[in-house]
Structure 1
Amino acid sequence: MDVKGSPHRGRRSRREQGAEETRAALVSTARSLFAARGYADVSIDDITEGTRVTRGALYHHFEDKRELFRAVVEAVERELTDEVRRQGEGPGGPWEQLRAACEAYLDACLRPEVQRIIVLDAPPFLTWRGWCEIDKRYGLGVFEGLLGKARDAGLLETRSVETAAQLLLGALNTGARVVADAADKAAARRSVLETIERLLAGFWVGRPAAGQRG
């Protein structure tokens, strides 16, 4: 039989498909539990019982609970990055687009799931370095693109777009933690955004005022 012409060539086997479905179910169940209870208060048994799989099935896909948590963090980060990117591609010039992306990031971090998994639990339980590696892999490129666009338009004064993007992302992450810890989260969010705008204005040609949209 001609293998190249086989209609089954390139298709996943039932075993492969089943394995992918099991992994996805584990990540989905773990995500719900981590969001509701926090990483520290979720056990392996909680996850396997919620997914209706054995411990062996879980350990086939993940070395331990931390590795599963990393997969959950990456899933949330992908969605968050897509959301921020969409807002950054909206109407207006480079300043309006950058501001919209920053707003989208902070607004997402107000959601309980993102706040618990990304803001509160990822840094301590994945270690700060491990968390930063994930954050850079997903979010950094969005802000590099927006800042690079502003620099190319002659609106941003910086020697390194990458450095500026890293500092901005760091400020947003710290700001998200400030919002998470605040009693009045809406007021904290406004204060953080205004502070980030003032920091950015220091690099901006023409220095737009904080809160400026036009």
Structure 2
Amino acid sequence: MEPIKSRREEYADATRTALLATAREIFTAEGYQQTGIETVARAARVTRGAFYHHFDDKQALFEALVIDLQKEAASKIAAQAKLQPDLRAKLSIGAKAFLEVCTEPSYRRLVIQEAAAVLGVERCRQISETYPYGLLIEAIKGLQQRGEFDVENPYLASRMIGAMICEASLHLEQTADSALLARQATAIIDRVLGAFYRDGS
């Protein structure tokens, strides 16, 4: 059984949750650079002292938010993939679920567009490979080990396929007919994945 939290612990959890939820909304609308700690704290209705109790600075808040977004992304992808009967179907559906995640405004702006500049490329890579990219890497590795995915470097293939999906999501934002472009993007994803299958299917 999990230990029962004290009122102080419950309040601390609620404060942290409020800061993250508020930061997600404001960072998505205004951008990381344009948003100050005071703005987030005031909107979350907490003091600056409460903010610094949970986060060392604005960058630490942003990193926690990116981790939360990546956890949510991995959860959504895994939920879709687990409904499929075999590993190829899991990979295909998982890739399409990742495209859907990438089109969500907070994920697109904070994870795809801003995270590398704020946290650095290496830290972003570590976070992504712990969560959504990790699922993609493991799926492709699994198919390769079974002799079904014809690629020498499954890690590189996973990173490149994931980058393609992220790039497609940015185009979806800019088009008047996002539904059509989404169908075209998923068709391309299927063709790219299919090119690696040993039987060509």
Per the normalisation by structure 1, the TM-score is: 0.80
Aligned equivalents of 1:57, 1:101: Cα separation in 2: 39
Among candidates 59, 73, 80, match of residue 66 of structure 1: 59
Give the equivalent residue in structure 1 for 2:173: 180
Alignment partner, residue 20 of structure 2? 27
Task: Note the aligned Cα RMSD (angstroms).
Answer: 2.5
Structure 2: 5+ residue stretches without partners: none
Rg larger in structure: 1
Aligned residues, how many?
Answer: 200
2:117 is the alignment partner of 1:104: no
Distance 2:4 2:87 in 1: 44
| CA distance in structure 2 between the partners assigned to 1:44 and 1:92 by the alignment | 47
Partners of 2:128 and 2:134 within 8 A in 1: no
The residue aligned with 2:113 is 120
AA at the equivalent of 1:157: D
Residue 206 of structure 1, CA deviation: 1.6
SS in 1 for 2:197: coil
Paired residue type of 2:139: L
Are positions 1:168 and 2:148 aligned together?
no
Note the alpha carbon deviations across 1:26-80, whole angstroms, 9 max, x for none.
1111112222333233221221111111112111211211211111111111111
Q: Residues 105 and 134 of structure 1: is their aligned pair in 2 closer, same or farther, counting only changes over 3 Å? A: same
Q: CA deviation at 1:142?
A: 1.0
More helix by proportion, 1 or 2? Answer: 2
Distance in 2 (alpha carbons) for counterparts of 1:181 and 1:136: 27
Displacement after TM superposition at 1:110 (Å)? 1.9
Change (3 A) 1:157 1:34: same
Aligned mates of 1:132, 1:172 — CA distance in 2 = 16
Q: In structure 2, how many angstroms separate the alpha carbons of the residues matched to 1:28 and 1:69?
A: 11
Q: Greater CA deviation, 67-76 or 132-141?
A: 132-141
Following TM superposition, by how much is the alpha carbon of 1:98 offset from its aligned partner in structure 2, in angstroms? Answer: 1.3
- Residue equivalent to 2:34: 41
Structure 2 residue matching 1:207: 3-state secondary structure: coil
Q: Is the 8 A contact 1:157 1:205 kept in 2?
A: yes
Deviates more, 1:75-84 or 1:110-119: 110-119
**How many Å separate the matches in 1 of 2:178 and 2:32?**
22
Structure-1 residue corresponding to 2:140: 147
| CA distance in structure 2 between the aligned counterparts of 1:140 and 1:114, rounded to whole angstroms | 14
Return the letter of the residue paired with 2:128.
D
Q: Which runs of 5+ in 1 are unaligned?
A: 1-8, 209-214
